[in-house]
Amino acid sequence: MANLINPYTFSQQEKSTITPTSPNGDSNSDFWNDEQFASLRSNIRKHYREEQKGACCYCKSNLSHTGPGNCEIEHIAPRSRYKNFIFEPKNLAVSCQDCNRAKSDVDTIKPSSNKKPRKRYPIASNSFYIVHPHIDRYADHIKNDGDFYIPETDKGRFTVSACKLDLRLHQYGYTGDSNFLELLALTSELAKKMKNGAEISPSIKQFERFLDGLK
């Protein structure tokens, strides 16, 4: 699939500053925060903020328009685990502070088939556990309505869990029962089918099986 957001393009000057550290991966990942990369980080943030139309890549809430406060550069595959992808444009996006902090260093890349460390950045959707902002259409995996995030696929479930998107329901009394989210997903699916005039018998059966499982 074509890129959903355009990856950042490094200028020649920027390339010359990152070459010594990025491909070797022998440095502590904190070098990302070095002062020497301050303007680079600012350019990257600006680029993805525009590409993502000011919305967090994981929860779609509004990002701050200026400064890094609530518009953090997100390493989709965490930089602590994948030092060779720290400057990989397809591994970068912007997220809100809540999502970035919650996701932290959760691994998002599936192991390669030969179990060896990945040298090249994967581009296939099924190489990632997470809904990837460059590759996956968000709406195919998560139904979002206000503070409700209803996962509709395994990737959706992973993303809701990694970014703790269901925490936003706690303000309404949600206690963390995963059956609740499953029930929401089933209800949403049923409502969608009814709205579209689709056959709803399979969804009703699925509902009944789920309720039977709770007994």
Residues that bind Zn ion (CB under 5 A): 56, 58-59, 96, 99
Give me the least distance between CB of 19 and Zn ion, in Å please: 32
Q: Would you say 99 or 185 has its CB closer to Zn ion?
A: 99
Name the burial class of residue 120, with classes exposed (0-12), middle (13-18) and buried (19+) by CB atoms within 10 angstroms of its CB: exposed
> In whole angstroms, what is the distance from residue 214 CA to residue 211 CA?
5
130 Cβ partners below 8 Å, 6+ apart?
A: 76, 108, 155, 158, 159, 162
Q: Would you say 163 or 186 has its CB closer to Zn ion?
A: 163
Give me the least distance between CB of 55 and Zn ion, in Å please: 8
Q: Would you say 14 or 147 has its CB closer to Zn ion?
A: 147
Q: Would you say 93 or 99 has its CB closer to Zn ion?
A: 99
Q: Which amino acid would we find at residue 153?
A: T
3-class SS at 22?
coil
Give me the least distance between CB of 97 and Zn ion, in Å please: 8
Give me the least distance between CB of 26 and Zn ion, in Å please: 32
- Structure token digits, residue 201: 């018998």
